[in-house]
């Protein structure tokens, strides 16, 4: 098996939270008098680290002034968060094979832990790093702390920032087309692998030496 440890992004990779994220983003924009975005405009413009996105759409507004509005709108969104197809099965499969799993996510820690508990997924992860604004700043330390061999570790994510983070940490990157960034943006950012969804990644991993 090619990989013995996997770092996971959360949103867009293991769960689909695009509808409530878009709803909450539009609540923030509305509060500051900016027109709401449709789903495709949001996917085109949103990027991590997310302070860069907000600097684009709401220049000069401090992030702390947005967070309360975002959090409460997120929880009031008519559409909730769902576990992505194949995600739970993939995590179970990793657990059965002793593949060590970690979370590295930018998501607000309060929102993240609520979802982790509600979906009953906590037991699949050895350690969790949530609320990380720039994942590049943390990946090296995480690999070192847990003594993960870089040649048998990959970071799985749905955004260009995840691919940059993997490269920064010296590990392979696995892009999945189930989340925020369009496929053309993912492929333009040089992923080690690009899969439609986690079932395809698992099949590839099963066949890997
Ligand atoms: Mg993501």
pLDDT of the chain, 209 residues: tens digit per residue: 899 999 999 999 999 999 999 999 999 999 999 999 999 999 999 999 999 999 999 999 999 999 999 999 999 999 999 999 999 999 999 999 999 999 999 999 999 999 999 999 999 999 999 999 999 999 999 999 999 999 999 999 999 999 999 999 999 999 999 999 999 999 999 999 999 999 999 999 999 97
CATH of domain 5-16+82-207: 3.40.50.1000
Q: What is the pTM of this model?
A: 0.96
Q: Closest Cα partner for 5 from 174, 119, 165? A: 174
Instruction: Output the CA 1–ligand 1 centroid distance in Å.
Output: 25
The partner residues of 82 in beta bridges, in order of sequence, read: 16
Instruction: Output the CA 60–ligand 1 centroid distance in Å.
Output: 25
The answer to whether the beta carbons of residues 91 and 65 sit under 8 Å apart is no
Instruction: Output the CA 10–ligand 1 centroid distance in Å.
Output: 6
- Helices 87-96, 198-207: inter-axial angle, 10-degree rounding: 30
Q: How many CA atoms lie within 13 A of 170 on its CB side?
A: 9
Instruction: Output the CA 115–ligand 1 centroid distance in Å.
Output: 14
Instruction: Output the CA 109–ligand 1 centroid distance in Å.
Output: 14
């Amino acid at each position: 098996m090619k990989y013995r440890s996997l770092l996971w992004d959360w949103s867009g990779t293991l769960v689909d939270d695009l509808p409530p994220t878009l709803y909450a983003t539009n609540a923030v924009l509305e509060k500051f008098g900016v027109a709401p975005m449709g789903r495709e405009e949001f996917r085109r413009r949103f990027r991590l680290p997310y302070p860069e996105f907000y600097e684009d759409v709401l220049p000069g507004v401090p992030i702390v002034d947005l967070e309360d509005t975002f959090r409460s709108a997120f929880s009031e969104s008519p559409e909730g968060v769902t576990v992505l197809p194949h995600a739970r099965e993939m995590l179970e499969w990793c657990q059965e094979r002793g593949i060590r799993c970690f979370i590295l996510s930018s998501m607000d820690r309060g929102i993240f832990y609520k979802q982790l508990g509600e979906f009953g997924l906590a037991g699949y992860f050895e350690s969790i790093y949530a609320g990380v604004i720039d994942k590049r700043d943390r990946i090296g330390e995480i690999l070192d702390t847990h003594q993960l061999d870089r040649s048998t570790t990959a970071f799985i994510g749905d955004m260009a920032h995840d691919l940059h983070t993997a490269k920064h940490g010296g590990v392979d990157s696995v892009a999945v087309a189930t989340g925020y960034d369009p496929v053309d943006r993912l492929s333009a950012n040089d992923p080690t692998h690009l899969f439609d969804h986690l079932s395809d990644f698992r099949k590839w991993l099963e066949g890997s030496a």
